[in-house]
Amino acid sequence: MNKEVLLEVKDLNVYYRVYEGLLHVLNDVSFSLVEGERLGLVGETGCGKTTTFRALLRVLDSNASSKGDILYKGRNVNKMSQTELLNTRRTEMSMIFQDPTSSLNPVFKVGEQISSVIRANLQAKGINYSENDIKNIALKALSDVLLPDPERIFESYPFQLSGGMRQRICIAMSVATERKLLLADEPGTSLDVTIQAQILGLLNNLVKTTGMSVILATHSLGVVRETTDRVCIMYGGEIVEIGPTRSLFANPFHPYTRALLACVPKLTGEGIAEGIPGEMVSYLNPPKGCRFQPRCSFCNEDCNRTKPKLTLYEDDHYVACHKADL
């Protein structure tokens, strides 16, 4: 059965105005997501993962501008009225932000903050509720993210809790009420690996039980391999490869994807990989052709001159590289 397309991003460009000029960060980013799908967004630090998420939710910083289409259930997020946008954020989409401290208000108790998110969601959906219902939903969400003693946490201020606990509270806030799309920006980076694995298990479970779709931004190829259906590899604000997880790991075509995979440390103790030589692209003055070209050992004249387009290589597996078939 064909699943409905939930999100379609077409030629998304994001610029940041800074003292030195205009940073062209996202460059013609296009992808889509169907209902119940788990898409991994992978790339090294600064490649534009958070910027992509913020653009999708229309919460970019004030020095940013964007162009392109973001169609959520066919409606263009960039053209929604403030009311429609607020309603969509309250009922349909949610985001786990990377930095939990900036998402929690230090002067309100955890319980008040999580309750206000749940209340806004239920109100926007027109569901009748009592304050007791809200508290019960909040306590369940806190225990779902494996926080011990949810009653105590409910009554605590953020500063009374550890960084890992605060991060789990942010995750609880994002998943306390049912959503159609979850944007998870490095969920669990400051958690230890056992808790992180359980959080990823919780997200997987939500996908199975509610049909929610997830875009998971991460540096970890191991996490992506275990928890996603498709993977999108980003380099310097562009998608360089996108395809089904199994196909991408079995047959990585783009030199950057291959280099990323080669960097993963092996448990078998085969030594430490050398990393990818060179520096991340300058967004102030990006190269004209392929943005990876200054770090690529296969690059030739074509790569200097023209930006490669995403091209179909295998079933649903696209690559943007002039030399990918080498």
CA 287 from centre of chain: 26
Rounded least distance, CB 178 to ligand ATP, Å: 26
Orientation of helix 163-175 relative to helix 193-210, angle to 10°: 0
Rounded least distance, CB 256 to ligand ATP, Å: 14
Q: What letter does residue 102 receive in the DSSP assignment?
A: H
Residue nearer to ligand ATP on the CB measure, 63 or 160: 63
Alpha carbon distance 92, 74 (integer Å)? 14
Residue nearer to ligand ATP on the CB measure, 16 or 157: 16
Alpha carbon distance 227, 61 (integer Å)? 30
**Half-sphere exposure (CA, 13 Å, Cβ side) for 290?**
30
Rounded least distance, CB 43 to ligand ATP, Å: 6
Rounded least distance, CB 93 to ligand ATP, Å: 18
Residue nearer to ligand ATP on the CB measure, 153 or 234: 234
At position 166, the amino acid (one-letter code) is R
Residue nearer to ligand ATP on the CB measure, 55 or 114: 55
Structure tokens at 262: 């080669």
| Positions in the binding site for ligand ATP (CB under 6 A) | 16, 18, 23, 25, 43, 45-51, 61, 63, 98, 283
Alpha carbon distance 176, 7 (integer Å)? 22
Phi/psi for 184 (5° steps) reads: -110, 110
Residue nearer to ligand ATP on the CB measure, 54 or 90: 54
Around Cβ 232, how many Cβ atoms within 10 Å? Answer: 25
Rounded least distance, CB 263 to ligand ATP, Å: 15
Rounded least distance, CB 237 to ligand ATP, Å: 7
Residue nearer to ligand ATP on the CB measure, 27 or 91: 27
